[in-house]
Chain A
Amino acid sequence: KAGVTQTPRYLIKTRGQQVTLSCSPISGHRSVSWYQQTPGQGLQFLFEYFSETQRNKGNFPGRFSGRQFSNSRSEMNVSTLELGDSALYLCASSLQLAGGNEQFFGPGTRLTVL
């Protein structure tokens, strides 16, 4: 099976712009979670989608949003970018809601905000 794929791998934007990141889960996986990884904060949970519905949400401002499509692919959108949004954004998929299940991570999208 192909692993979790994320596009693009690298992205450079300027403050105030918006960005959309894409994640394709492993075939058959229905849950997709998003994380922000920064050197100082580690991994911070953004949100989880299951069957096209947001099931869990972390403590991020409303500028961060997401959605999931019927084929389980997910997109994450960040509007009005700030310098502090520079990070590695990781997507993870699992068969069901990621309770005790293993999450499989993609390679991430490196976002740089100038």
Chain B
Amino acid sequence: AQSVTQLDSQVPVFEEAPVELRCNYSSSVSVYLFWYVQYPNQGLQLLLKYLSGSTLVESINGFEAEFNKSQTSFHLRKPSVHISDTAEYFCAVRDGTGNQFYFGTGTSLTVIP
């Protein structure tokens, strides 16, 4: 079974500063990779996903993530954060052998004015 590690449970960052939220997974066998965001009192929303092709994927609100197979990582980055980016971010992996999603424990991003 897969395991997903989000090393940082809380990340405080000042507004307009860059941020990186780290995600590592356990197995490099064919995987699909996802980042979800959860705003307070809401369900999860898909931020971006890697299925195949270019290893760098982008979201519409300025986030990007890079699939690194050798390091089994899928870190999420944004060059300049906004107050509205304050939320919980979850990394998820679904491997090609099973059909189960595995989620990390989440990273709480707090953007400080």
- Which residues of A are in contact with B by a Cβ distance under 8 Å? 4, 33, 35, 40-45, 48, 55-56, 58, 90, 92, 97-100, 102-108
B100 interface neighbour in A4, A58, A92, A106, Cβ under 8 Å? A58
A4 interface neighbour in B43, B90, B94, B102, Cβ under 8 Å? B43
When distances are taken between beta carbons in the complex, the residues of chain A under 8 Å from B90 are: 42-43
Residue B98 interfacial (CB < 8 Å)? yes
How far, in angstroms, from A55 to B94 measured CA to CA in the complex?
Answer: 14
Q: B45 CB to closest chain A CB, in angstroms?
A: 7
| Interface 9-mer from B14-22, B60-68, B79-87, B103-111 | B103-111
A44 touches B103 (CB 8 A): yes
When distances are taken between beta carbons in the complex, the residues of chain B under 8 Å from A90 are: 43-44
Q: Which residue of A lies closest to B104 (CB)?
A: A42
B101 touches A33 (CB 8 A): yes
How far, in angstroms, from A98 to B46 measured CA to CA in the complex?
Answer: 13
B101 touches A98 (CB 8 A): yes
Q: Which residue of B lies closest to A58 (CB)?
A: B100
How far, in angstroms, from A45 to B102 measured CA to CA in the complex?
Answer: 7
Q: B3 CB to closest chain A CB, in angstroms?
A: 11
B103 touches A56 (CB 8 A): no
- 9 examples of A-B residue contacts, CB within 8 angstroms: A4-B43, A45-B101, A45-B102, A48-B99, A56-B98, A99-B99, A102-B46, A105-B45, A106-B43
Q: A112 CB to closest chain B CB, in angstroms?
A: 15
When distances are taken between beta carbons in the complex, the residues of chain B under 8 Å from A97 are: 99
When distances are taken between beta carbons in the complex, the residues of chain B under 8 Å from A106 are: 43
Residue B42 interfacial (CB < 8 Å)? yes
Q: A5 CB to closest chain B CB, in angstroms?
A: 10
B104 touches A100 (CB 8 A): no
